[in-house]
Amino acid sequence: MTIPSDPSGERISDAEHAVMEVLWDRSPRSAADVCEAICETRDWTIATVKTLLSRLVAKGALATEPEGRRFLYRPLIARSAYVGGESRRLVNRLFGGRAASLFAHLAQSEALTDQDLAEMEALLKELRQ
């Protein structure tokens, strides 16, 4: 997604998104805390995490606060805002801005389960009230 406060229009990469998920789950956290949560599953080092954190700070997605000899990181953008922006971008780019086309594609490709359909029906019913 394009970070709202970032005039360069840079987006969050997949790797940066993984770091954001850790911080959305609980923050503030240090680089070591983030690495503890994600490094093993991603086969990353603390240096990789620090690079990603620095990029996210530069993009305006994270804030830092000093705590002794280390920094703590916290998101400046809510997860819901990120998801909303990425969802709109996907629908605009792949489906001409029409969410109905996305749902039609998912239905035709059999990517929707009966539970998915029931949840969508309930949501549509709620939205119409």
Please classify residue 21 by burial: count the beta carbons closer than 10 Å to its beta carbon, then call 0-12 exposed, 13-18 middle and 19+ buried: middle
Predicted confidence (pLDDT) per residue in 22-75, tens digit = 999 999 999 999 999 999 999 999 999 999 999 999 999 999 999 999 999 999
Instruction: Please state, as a whole number, how many other Cβ atoms lie within 10 Å of the Cβ of residue 12.
Output: 23
Listed residue (14, 44, 13, 43) closest to 31, CA to CA = 44
Q: Which of 6-10, 79-83, 96-100, 106-110 has the lowest mean pLDDT?
A: 6-10
pLDDT score, position 25 = 97
Q: Which amino acid is at 18?
A: A
- Rounded to 5 degrees, φ, ψ at 21 are -60, -40
Q: In order of start, what are the domains of the chain with their CATH numbers?
A: 1-97 (1.10.10.10), 98-129 (no CATH)
Q: Does residue 6 carry a pLDDT above 70?
A: no
Q: Give the C-alpha separation, 116 to 77, whole Å.
A: 28
Model confidence, pTM: 0.78
